[in-house]
Structure 1
């Protein structure tokens, strides 16, 4: 194993030279909010501010540049449902290489359009990433063009490993580095870089509980395939992790933990509200591990890698709304009112008296389950506290209006 780690380490050094003029050296910024919550000293490595909005461009550019120098390639092929596609497309455009990217048929339009905007040919194929990947392999063989794998490739791993060097240079006394995990390319590179610089640093991977292939593989010390996967963190959904990445992780990674989708959504929300940075669900996994307690950080200096920020605005909106309800900052109340003029105004007047804000009103009188002559009213409210909701319900009851909080 040592020769493999030495080889990756050597390539990381070369990748730094190659990538220097091309990529952003992303900031490592302290987070007071996360530090207060975890009783630790937390820093964010903001790869969501990288070109193309994610770390993937590092490995993609390094890989394609080597192929062009060594073999003079004029075309590359890749399969991806998101960030790898954009990383390959952007890198190929800079290097004057044609890129053909296979993406699943139901990939969100904004991801497809972003990939095409960098000049790549996008072919939509299959229902899943695995379908697109198989077709990409066939196409690459037919065209005699190299396939740029998203994670199980030493050059890809080395390109991502440059993040680890930057972290060490900016925070040499870091204790723990948390890294999102899908197929393992990102954490493999970061772990090799950090362990070579200081093997005391703990490197911990974070994966969604709905797509735990690498978590299971790492724990069982063998490749485990998970056929049924789902998570809002679509950027790290992998049914079968990489063989090379698993071998490297077994030697360099200290642990892998799981977080659920509610933790991930809350992490995206906290990063937006308090850190003023937009992260996609996959990119927020490391922060989710801190907020959920999956990783004990108290008293330690911790770096959380925010690996990407390419999130569909509609998904971001849904996450914001869900977290506001989960944290009790928005509520819904429902009650029955006589279907007569002025009845709803009584409710609105009490809400205004308490200084609460109405977000939505749903007024139903034709529902067959509603008693004739009555109307069912559901109101969405912004509230400062649970106590204010209870006070509202009490005041409405004093007026003979029976309302209750609903999910």
Structure 2
């Protein structure tokens, strides 16, 4: 775990001591200690939900996080058991963690594009997004946002994709169709 953990995500995990006797017994069984970033823990939580259909908090996800982050290369290609032991997390915080993990995993994209003010222009954009099979999280349509071109509207969208491959395909499709597209930082 990193040196300054988020108390909201890790609770009292960092403050509790195992005790001197437990530490001396356990240290004989420990081969190495690995730092795990908050970002890696969040992505591991997401993988537990998607692959194992399990709800695991950030503390429980740390073992998988170390593996997914490539911090244990000696395990590559081997069958591995990860011990998952964690406390409960509030549902709202769990949802926030998953939302953040989707961004960290490059599965949430935000872009803006200039559209004409003609009937059907917005519907065409939404149709492209529908055909790409992405989940539309947010859309903002601003008319008259730029005095230099009063017959255009600026549309900002936030979308979620299944994986990085679909994200790349979406970018390719939209870049080809909309030369004015601007990909925004998350």
Same fold, judged at TM 0.5 (above): yes
Q: State the alpha-carbon separation in 1 of the partners of residues 133 and 32 from structure 2.
A: 48
Matched, 1:247 2:12: no
Gaps of 5+ in 1: 1-207, 212-228
- Correspondence for 2:111: 333
Matched, 1:396 2:178: yes
Q: Match of 1:314, SS?
A: helix
Structure 1 residues 355 and 289 mapped into 2: Cα distance closer, same or farther (>3 Å)? Answer: closer
Q: Match of 1:316, SS?
A: helix
Q: Match of 1:279, SS?
A: coil
Gaps of 5+ in 2: none
Name which structure has the greater RCO, CA cutoff 8 Å, separation 6+: 2
- Correspondence for 1:387: 169
Q: Match of 2:178, SS?
A: helix
Residue correspondences, number: 176
Spell out the pairing of 1:102-251 with structure 2 (5 A cutoff): 208-211=1-4, 229-230=5-6, 232-238=9-15, 242-251=19-28
Q: TM-score, normalised on structure 2?
A: 0.76
CA contact (8 A) 1:235 1:282 kept: no
Find the partner of 1:371 among 132, 146, 149. 146
Q: State the alpha-carbon separation in 1 of the partners of residues 27 and 131 from structure 2.
A: 61
Deviation at 1:252, TM superposition (A): 3.5
How well do the aligned residues superpose, as a CA RMSD in angstroms? 2.9
Q: State the alpha-carbon separation in 1 of the partners of residues 143 and 87 from structure 2.
A: 43
Deviation at 1:248, TM superposition (A): 3.4
Spell out the pairing of 1:243-282 with structure 2 (5 A cutoff): 243-282=20-59
Deviation at 1:271, TM superposition (A): 0.7
Q: State the alpha-carbon separation in 2 of the partners of residues 283 and 275 from structure 1.
A: 13
CA contact (8 A) 1:286 1:304 kept: yes
Structure 1 residues 356 and 289 mapped into 2: Cα distance closer, same or farther (>3 Å)? Answer: closer
CA contact (8 A) 2:114 2:155 kept: yes
Deviation at 1:273, TM superposition (A): 0.8
Deviation at 1:242, TM superposition (A): 4.2
Structure 1 residues 335 and 239 mapped into 2: Cα distance closer, same or farther (>3 Å)? Answer: farther
Q: State the alpha-carbon separation in 1 of the partners of residues 77 and 36 from structure 2.
A: 22
Q: TM-score, normalised on structure 1?
A: 0.38
Q: State the alpha-carbon separation in 2 of the partners of residues 313 and 326 from structure 1.
A: 20
Structure 1 residues 302 and 235 mapped into 2: Cα distance closer, same or farther (>3 Å)? Answer: farther
Question: Highest CA radius of gyration, 1 or 2?
Answer: 1
Deviation at 1:322, TM superposition (A): 2.5
CA contact (8 A) 1:328 1:386 kept: no
CA contact (8 A) 2:174 2:181 kept: no
